[in-house]
Chains A and B, each alone.
Chain A
């Protein structure tokens, strides 16, 4: 019973932390997916007096493509109501239209920066970013992602405190054995082998349980979130990499906590 209690004192904060992390990963995945979708549709329209020279980056974002809009097509759309001389004049005076596709979806701040950068190019007359509709939802998603990240940070801090407390208890419980081994020339690391085994076992158990919990959340996501938001969720949520990240974190956090305490004991 005591053993079970001490095991869960360690695994519980670890599971909560890992679950929080997996939720963060899930939200990140949704945001990335949304970003990928909108970036394919999204373009900045630029009107210039003369043909535009190539632009490689805007506000640090790589320009994917600059697509000129056909001037003939524009003229064709309006030529029915115009005389030949007016069409000739239009051909001479009509500015050049371009669609600029970016590699990444810009935030409002970046958009403002892009606008300023484009305005420095002398032949550009007008810029249309069409960002309002996309931006509202995108900003909201980023906000949710940031809130979850902050929550994860807080949970991580609390978990590390609880983990270190439990490891200290284990050090205390194994104190006699550790002392005897050290008296025989065994290092602190060697004498702490039983604690390392418990930590690794608990970490593995926690990562498996957190992955199962994440799997349950993904499988039942349509029950958890509103149907309108369901459109944001990719139809296939592949989480292999995320599960790997959870596993790595489940090993790293307890290990760092353990080695931190080990250094502390060694200095003592």
Chain B
């Protein structure tokens, strides 16, 4: 659950990027956040995982008050999230299995449980044949599938995705949408995706928020 009340965001207290936003994202929902370039979509998503301080208002993510957050509470919140970035943010020195295992290690999962989970996820994202490969050896689409697998690894309650298909071709984009859709439909994970390109045939119920000149509103 994500609840924003009069949420105002800005970088370094300069011009407000998001102003007085009010919305509620319920559990198991699939949400798109769209808007033109520089409208503040990614900024708002950053605030959801505590990477941007809140200038005014309130923001609750899974009942964590992000205004009153301290370092340890922030880490607790992040442990319950899965994040997918446009630039994948995979650790280059790690193999793809080690990358997927990262949230499991942070959660102190036992090694055998982690390995089994990674194996299952690699199969799920159709990368079983790439075991032992490093991110640099994969295409952009494959890297993003690894990132999605990593976001799913610890079965989070929310996945936040920032332009997950921004750098991908149509085929890879379709795969990513399918993975996110399945996570929402079958695992009940709340999905919040920032994108400027909403696929036409999602095939599931979703809501869309649009951002224009700092104003967040629900688009029909």
Assess A180 versus B106: contact at CB under 8 Å? Given A185-B79, A187-B75.
Answer: no
Contact: A181 with B71, CB < 8 Å? no
Residue of A nearest to B106 (CB): A186
- Which residues of B lie under 8 Å from residue A186 when comparing CB positions? 75, 102, 105-106
**Cβ 8 A contact of A184, one of B71, B93, B103:** B103
Residue of B nearest to A180 (CB): B89
Residue of A nearest to B94 (CB): A177
Contact: A184 with B91, CB < 8 Å? no
**Cβ 8 A contact of A185, one of B76, B89, B92:** B76
Interface string of B67-85 (1 = CB under 8 A from A): 0000110011111110100
Contact: A185 with B91, CB < 8 Å? no
Residue of B nearest to A191 (CB): B106
Interface SS majority for chain A: helix
**Cβ 8 A contact of B106, one of A176, A185, A266:** A185
Within 8 Å of chain A (Cβ to Cβ): is B30? no
Within 8 Å of chain B (Cβ to Cβ): is A190? yes
Within 8 Å of chain A (Cβ to Cβ): is B32? no
- Which residues of B lie under 8 Å from residue A179 when comparing CB positions? 89
**Which residues of A168-197 have CB atoms within 8 Å of chain B's CB atoms?**
176-177, 179-187, 190
Q: State the Cβ distance, B90 to closest chain A Cβ, in Å.
A: 8
How many angstroms between the C-alpha atoms of A148 and B83 in the bound complex? Answer: 55
How many angstroms between the C-alpha atoms of A186 and B49 in the bound complex? Answer: 13
Contact: A181 with B75, CB < 8 Å? no
Task: Count A-side interface residues using an 8 Å CB cutoff.
Answer: 13
- Which residues of A lie under 8 Å from residue B81 when comparing CB positions? 185
- Which residues of B lie under 8 Å from residue A183 when comparing CB positions? 49, 51, 78, 83, 89
Q: State the Cβ distance, B156 to closest chain A Cβ, in Å.
A: 10
How many angstroms between the C-alpha atoms of A180 and B151 in the bound complex? Answer: 12
How many angstroms between the C-alpha atoms of A187 and B76 in the bound complex? Answer: 10
Residue of A nearest to B89 (CB): A180
Contact: B71 with A266, CB < 8 Å? yes
Contact: B91 with A176, CB < 8 Å? yes
- Which residues of A lie under 8 Å from residue B150 when comparing CB positions? 184
How many angstroms between the C-alpha atoms of A266 and B80 in the bound complex? Answer: 21
Contact: A185 with B75, CB < 8 Å? yes
- Which residues of B lie under 8 Å from residue A190 when comparing CB positions? 106
Residue of A nearest to B90 (CB): A180
- Which residues of A lie under 8 Å from residue B93 when comparing CB positions? 177
- Which residues of B lie under 8 Å from residue A182 when comparing CB positions? 75, 78
How many angstroms between the C-alpha atoms of A185 and B75 in the bound complex? Answer: 4
How many angstroms between the C-alpha atoms of A64 and B39 in the bound complex? Answer: 85
How many angstroms between the C-alpha atoms of A252 and B154 in the bound complex? Answer: 36
Contact: A181 with B106, CB < 8 Å? yes
- Which residues of A lie under 8 Å from residue B91 when comparing CB positions? 176-177, 180-181
- Which residues of A lie under 8 Å from residue B105 when comparing CB positions? 186
How many angstroms between the C-alpha atoms of A186 and B83 in the bound complex? Answer: 13
Q: State the Cβ distance, B128 to closest chain A Cβ, in Å.
A: 23
Residue of A nearest to B76 (CB): A185
Interface string of B102-136 (1 = CB under 8 A from A): 11011100000000000000000000000000000
Residue contacts A-B, CB under 8 angstroms, 10 given: A177-B93, A180-B90, A181-B106, A183-B49, A184-B83, A184-B102, A184-B103, A184-B150, A185-B78, A185-B103
Q: Which 8 A-B pairs have the closest CB atoms?
A: A185-B79, A185-B78, A186-B106, A185-B75, A184-B103, A185-B106, A180-B89, A177-B91
7 additional A-B residue pairs with CB within 8 Å, beyond A176-B89, A183-B51, A184-B102: A176-B91, A180-B91, A181-B102, A181-B106, A182-B75, A184-B103, A185-B103
